[in-house]
């Protein structure tokens, strides 16, 4: 049985990396028995990425691409790629060669042994700033503590997914997508593949601090309700503190009526403290309510300006591989 593989790659201003990525992938995939396609998602770049895509598609019909009408973000691009990919096994990777394509044959081997999700786990990161490494380190550990499902440490989106898993992911309606969390949530047989994360080949990092923070909050809020409870705990804590303060004030009033501590200072402290707790709690509520609102609006996840390369009918090897086009 010849298997069919899809490689899903979201691209945002990756014009410098694209030709090298294609060369490396091609020489690798030629060695893997079976058919393959590369699904590139153009996420509204500001450079010549789209022209590069069109050109590659002209050269090699195994290259299919989707072009978003604007920048929708990495997680949405991965989702769109999964929607359109037609392979029995779908590989998701970054377009900057930080995820070494040389890992794919190993993933394929594990897939053939019956694993449904093979996720690459970083053991080392090269040439990424200390701030990014530190925040990532703290975040993944915090998420593991708080999340309702076991989300493995230090794993990004680089993975191989069996068709069964892709079908389940495609049927998940949520808009705020934290793909690596959803991937853990679905279950099936999962296995980690350790690797050392290479430095970016060319171009600039696209995940600004703001985007990373947004992704981190989505991850936490989508997979944990513990933050909602934080406000309850904080409320209880501040109530306790207020009682202690009141007791102290009464005590000082009785023992030393002339004490200045009973004055404005304590009131000011109490007001500040309660104000902070309330703002914090409202903030947490806001995060969840904002997301509920997003889900309720039922907007499509992305808008497509151009789709190419999906016309060819691929030989079906097993199961239902009808591509889904929800947008």
State how far the Cα of 177 lies from the Cα of 301, in Å rounded to an integer. 10
Query: Which residue number, 88 or 154, has a Cβ lying nearer to ligand UDP?
Result: 154
- Which of Mg ion, ligand UDP, none has residue 87 at its interface (CB below 5 to 8 Å by kind)? none
Q: Of the two residues 35 and 75, which places its CB atom closer to ligand UDP in the complex? A: 75
Residues in contact with ligand UDP, shown as a per-residue x/- string from 261 to 300 under the rule CB under 6 A: ----------------------------------------
Applying CB under 6 A, the span of 162-170, 198-206, 231-239, 292-300 interacting with ligand UDP comes to: 198-206
Q: Are 110 and 118 in contact (CB under 8 A)?
A: yes
Using CB under 6 A, which of 138, 205, 213, 248 touches ligand UDP? 205
Q: Report if residue 14 touches Mg ion, rule: CB under 5 A.
A: no
Cβ atoms 128, 220 nearer than 8 A:
no
Residue 98 binds to Mg ion (criterion: CB under 5 A): yes
Find the binder of ligand UDP among 3, 14, 118, 183 (CB under 6 A): 14
Candidate ranges 147-155, 205-213, 246-254, 275-283; the one touching ligand UDP (CB under 6 A): 205-213
Inter-residue contact 37 to 7 (CB < 8 Å): yes
Q: Which residue do the tokens 């806001």 mark?
A: 286
Q: Residue 232: name the closest of 281, 194, 298, 271 by CA.
A: 281
- Is 77 one of the binding residues for ligand UDP (CB under 6 A)? yes
How far apart CA 202 and CA 18 sit, in angstroms, is 10
Q: Residue 197 contacts by C-beta under 8 Å, 6 or more apart in sequence?
A: 98, 99, 122, 124, 125, 126, 128
Q: Which of 4, 62, 74, 180 binds ligand UDP (CB under 6 A)?
A: 74
What would you report as the CA-atom Rg of the chain, rounded to the nearest whole angstrom?
25
Is residue 281 within 8 A of residue 231, CB to CB? The reply is yes
Residues that bind ligand UDP (CB under 6 A): 10-12, 14, 43, 71, 73-74, 77, 94-96, 98, 200, 205-207
């Amino acid at each position: 049985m010849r298997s069919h593989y899809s490689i899903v790659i979201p691209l945002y201003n990756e014009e410098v990396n694209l030709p090298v990525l294609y060369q490396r992938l091609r020489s690798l995939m030629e060695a893997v028995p079976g058919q393959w396609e590369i699904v590139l998602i153009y996420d509204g770049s500001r450079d010549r990425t789209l022209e590069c895509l069109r050109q590659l598609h002209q050269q090699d019909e195994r290259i299919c691409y989707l072009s978003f009408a604007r920048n929708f973000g990495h997680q949405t691009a991965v989702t769109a790629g999964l929607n359109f990919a037609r392979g029995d096994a779908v590989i998701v990777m970054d377009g900057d060669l930080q995820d070494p394509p040389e890992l794919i044959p190993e993933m394929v081997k594990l897939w053939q042994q019956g694993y449904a999700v093979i996720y690459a786990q970083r053991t080392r990161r090269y040439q990424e700033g200390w701030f990014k490494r530190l925040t990532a380190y703290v975040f993944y550990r915090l998420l593991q503590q708080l999340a309702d499902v076991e989300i493995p440490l230090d794993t990004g989106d680089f993975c191989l997914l069996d068709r069964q898993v892709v079908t389940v992911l495609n049927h998940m309606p949520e808009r705020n997508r934290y793909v690596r969390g959803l991937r853990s949530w679905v279950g099936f047989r999962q296995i980690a593949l350790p690797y050392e994360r290479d430095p970016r080949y060319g171009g600039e990092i696209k995940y600004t601090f703001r985007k990373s923070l947004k992704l981190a909050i989505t991850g936490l809020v989508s997979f944990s309700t513990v933050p909602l409870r934080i406000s309850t705990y904080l409320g209880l804590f501040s109530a306790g503190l207020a009682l202690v303060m009141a007791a102290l004030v009464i005590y000082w009033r009785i023992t030393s009526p002339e004490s200045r501590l009973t004055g404005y200072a304590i009131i000011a402290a109490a007001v500040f403290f309660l104000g902070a707790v309330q703002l914090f709690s409202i903030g947490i509520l806001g995060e969840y309510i904002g997301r509920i609102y997003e889900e309720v609006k039922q907007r499509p996840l992305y808008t497509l300006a151009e789709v190419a390369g999906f016309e060819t009918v691929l030989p079906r090897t097993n199961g239902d591989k009808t591509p889904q086009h929800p947008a």
